[in-house]
Structure 1
Amino acid sequence: MTRTLPAIMLAILCFVAGCNSTANTGAAPADVLALQTGDVTATADGSLRLVKSLPAPAGTHDGTEQLLAANDVLEINVYNADTLNRVVQVDPSGRISLPLIGVQMAAGKSVRQLEQDLEKAYGTSYLQSPDITVFLKESASQRVTVDGEVAKAGLYQVAASTTLLDAIALAGGLRDIADPSKVYVFRNVGGARLVANYSVEQIRSGRLANPRIYGGDVIMVFTSQNRVAINNLKEALGMAANASRLAVIP
């Protein structure tokens, strides 16, 4: 028994309406819900504040390089003294332990500052004009969360030069239903929770600067309801075309 065309079209309209009402918007913590409702003070503690651009977080060197922190993993190479090379982890008190010079403070310093301090420590009693390189191998404090309408939401390691576009690329880029004008970056600065809205389209066209991303940032890409509706319409039209062919079958 064949279904009538009006009944099929009614089912398609219900399908479209249902899809629009259940479109995926990613995770929904209190601060994301605040943006969805247009009330950026709607968080539990009232700390979320919308700003035009985000300042560098505390714990950065000259607003660019993030300072070393507990649990960071460092690779330390001493030129022409391979026996002194080490891979060490910064302990909870912010210190590392190295051959000959013992315990050294690392947390709160930039990589370059630590290099200079180690060169001074080794040069005082053990090496003549030491040349030391410090490489940050792993850092829990330098990871960002990318969520919402991206191909691969998750945690990603960032470097000293990582930008918003870089972070989105790490997550596989925007999904086809993402709204490139509704990319929000959340950051904790001086005890306050700040958020700024960026347009990927304007960044790519050069109309807007590509902002620096720091460890601890959360990047949320919102859904474009217009793109969801267009996708649903395309699917509905395909269903309607199939339905019309079925309707004329005797």
Structure 2
Amino acid sequence: MTAQGILSAIMLAALCFVAGCTSTANTGSAPGDVLSLQSGAGGATADGSLRLVTSLPAPAGTRDGADQLLSANDVLEINVYSADSLNRTVQVDSSGRVSLPLIGVKTAAGKSVRQFEEELEKAYGASYLQSPDITVFVKESASQRVTIDGEVAKSGLYPVSAGTTLLDAIALAGGFRDVADQSKVYIFRDVGGSKLVANYNVEQIRSGRLANPRVYGGDVVMVFTSKSRVAINNLKEALGMAVSASRLAVIP
């Protein structure tokens, strides 16, 4: 077979491959790992551990995302007005508790900042201070981070703040790789002991057709691969190799 014939054969095979991948990719089905979620009742897996939903609610106990919940390893700055000797910077231990002067060990994890402030005011006011005024500031948050993985430039664990959105999270990870399927971006979240996942189409979010969802500490953002984009890249590589081969073939 001539070099031109080899090139034509490679192009034909590659185009057929792309067509096959494209027809599969455009069905709107979720990737294999997530598609399995749809087999159970209500979109749950067989053991009920993960549920596919159309949109994700805010984490439980946060007043629809208005409050931040404290967690183990958070560093807290506690200030007691008019009682500077009681001021402390403490780290929440692995069991979710902190030790404070006079009132001893208190559980912080799982409570909002305001809830914890009120609990401390009640504890100090019971025996030691008259109408105490206490503020709790989260100096370092171990929980306010999201994991971003899959087809992004820089997978990893990234800090988030109040108001961080999915588009913000993708930007933190350096944007999409060229083989990413922007219609297959999934957010996994624990909500009140239940594990939920939802599919978000970033192309539609960017065009304004869908709302840009907020992400919260503890979320996992997963970007899946576009089979058609992989096929196109393979085609480009194959064509480049074929062209190089054809050039070598005509060298006397």
Q: TM-score over 0.5 for the alignment?
A: yes
The aligned counterpart of 1:51 is: 53
Q: Which moved more, 1:32-41 or 1:60-69?
A: 32-41
Write out aligned runs for 1:153-192 (5 A): 153-192=155-194
Secondary structure at the counterpart of residue 152 of structure 2: coil
Q: Which moved more, 1:31-40 or 1:210-219?
A: 31-40
- C-alpha spacing 1:127/1:8, structure 2 compared with 1 (3 Å): farther
The aligned counterpart of 2:140 is: 137
Secondary structure at the counterpart of residue 195 of structure 1: strand
Secondary structure at the counterpart of residue 144 of structure 1: strand
The whole-number CA distance in structure 1 between the counterparts of 2:74 and 2:244 is 58
- C-alpha spacing 1:190/1:121, structure 2 compared with 1 (3 Å): closer
Aligned-residue offset at 1:135: 1.6
Q: Given residue 54 of structure 1, which amino acid in structure 2 is its aligned partner?
A: L
Q: Which moved more, 1:143-152 or 1:117-126?
A: 117-126
Number of residue-to-residue matches in the alignment: 237
The whole-number CA distance in structure 2 between the counterparts of 1:183 and 1:118 is 42
Question: Is the contact between residue 123 and residue 130 of structure 1 (CA under 8 Å) also seen in structure 2?
Answer: no
Identical columns (%): 65
The aligned counterpart of 1:24 is: none
Structure 2 residue runs without a partner (length 5+)? 21-29
Aligned-residue offset at 1:190: 3.9
The aligned counterpart of 1:62 is: 63
1:205-232 Cα distance to aligned partner (Å, 9 max, x none): 2221111222332211111122222222
Aligned-residue offset at 1:177: 0.9
Question: Is the contact between residue 16 and residue 236 of structure 1 (CA under 8 Å) also seen in structure 2?
Answer: no
The whole-number CA distance in structure 1 between the counterparts of 2:88 and 2:206 is 41
The aligned counterpart of 2:33 is: 34
The whole-number CA distance in structure 2 between the counterparts of 1:93 and 1:38 is 33
Secondary structure at the counterpart of residue 194 of structure 1: strand
- C-alpha spacing 1:119/1:228, structure 2 compared with 1 (3 Å): same
Q: Given residue 135 of structure 2, which amino acid in structure 1 is its aligned partner?
A: I
Question: Is the contact between residue 66 and residue 214 of structure 1 (CA under 8 Å) also seen in structure 2?
Answer: no
